[in-house]
Structure 1
């Protein structure tokens, strides 16, 4: 992508309404624009990152055996009345009436809709286990939306819903998602810590939040450092044989958010040198809620014993748009965003320090063409701008690596290679630079 043809409205000053670093940098880097209270338009740079995150989430859900569908944003109130949640959910649910005065709502979650889909088509235990998921925009009418996409009213979520014939099988589905979540966040360059959580209005008896550690995190967390340092299950995890050991070795360690924290238990179970008190951001939440929805909505299956029984369910959410803000909170410096490779809007950049200089233009075009041919998603800053402005923009938007080409360097047969993550700058030939950037692909 040539920056002269791209839409990137960066800001020099931080807007006064932005109180946390992710909101500040998303506005300054031209990733989002506020359209209404807690509602944002996603501009091209932000949308590219959002799609990268969404694709990783989708790939890991597919790998864990979940099947994608798409449910509507507007739902009939009658389904929620059937489950008993319509009045109980609270004012965060946006209730509306259509032109026929039918009660509708803008879905904050999808347990009722997916249960209705399930009961319409599934009759036998032979059709189980089943896990259905979608990635869809949601709306919750927050009384005080704040912190940009971290606490907005409209947001992109991945919701998965598992269906099993028994409590034992339902827990197996829960553990499968538990491991899939750890791998999902690890692929994004994040270290996510699973913590036992309250089930809240979703219901059930088993729930975990996934917290990424960040100095600017919204919640206090307390955990065993052994858990934080544990590697993810890995992409070669066998969901059939390796599942339970992977979960057990993580859930045996103490980990809690401030709301669930038990100081005496923390001190009793965790050696002092391993006690970690930090800040964190919730980016995922999973629930095992049994028959909470299947019983009132009569989502039954025939068991192997020949009797009808309500199906056992779980739900599994990842805040896709919230994750983008969380990654920035965990990955930034005073100059701007530092994107992990897999979610970066562009994997590399080519910076022309003197646009219009024949030698610089030719070298940049050569580098851009070769990076593009290698599938390395380059952003070419071909604007007629001052070098300082170009370099500042590069640092602000957080491209992982860049080749910087100027007339002085070319006379000496070298270009600069910048690594945003570790903050290094190296001089080398253009061919060596291209080899260095594409070597890991």
Structure 2
């Protein structure tokens, strides 16, 4: 018996095999289907997808064969991969010097006929075979040989698909890790900046109170600008923290509350001027959900409707209905509206629909991303429709939870 030689590129070949992470994996119906077809087309009792490792050959798929692996030294497939561009056909292994004394010839299911097509990696290295076996001598027709080669190509396609999927999983894991690091960094930095900002605001007030008589008008303006900028940065940090907290939110504390009453509390909190008309739902509904999450959603959406309204009289209309599975809430206004090219990205982090609000302040693009996270945490979805210059309508749902 001749032991199969090692390919010249053995180490590279083994590396590519192991990168597929297929050895000793669970059966896969995609490979099993190919072995069934190979056996049926070639009219043989056995078909295998064999992977050649350093010391053993392992069978990823098999039909008519009980063994899970064999030693590489007695492997027919280990000989077949030495001619990676050709099909190896052995009509009668008893007449082949390479297999004299091979234990596979004298087993209960002797390997007499063998045909194996090398399975190549993307770079052309053979990592296994699609092979067929019979217990008696035979030959294959040209049509059967062609079909066997075609089936081997399909196995190679499965290899490439797996390789691509493994790469995608690796990238996804890396991105998840980087995202977690970024979130942790943003949260830490945001918390650490809160106190210095508060000190800046207090110090600005102290400077104004103590040194106002010694400052000219420009100096007073500088202090006002410093305080305003500190408040803007503080607001930005608050929004950023709210966003990351909303991503991690797991709704546990459920309570029953009246939507109409909650809306009245929000309106009182916002101290809305007489230039706005707020139309509340005609009939209230009782929600069983996270009151704090719903409050933040409504507060953000109503605040946006107020901030981005350019009409002499701003109108905000809120509607609500429910069915057996969801609460449906709609908030519409007659404000600036949202440009058509912004609608698809309006809920993305740092996406800004309008350069400035009605007081000339620039938004930070965090609020609506936070709203989306909160809605999702409540088992719902949110959407927006708008005509630029005429207003915008936000519709969101909240999944009902059994009391």
What TM-score does the superposition give when structure 2 sets the normalisation length?
Answer: 0.18
More helix by share: 2
Query: Higher relative CO (CA 8 A, sep ≥ 6), structure 1 or 2?
Result: 1
More strand by share: 1
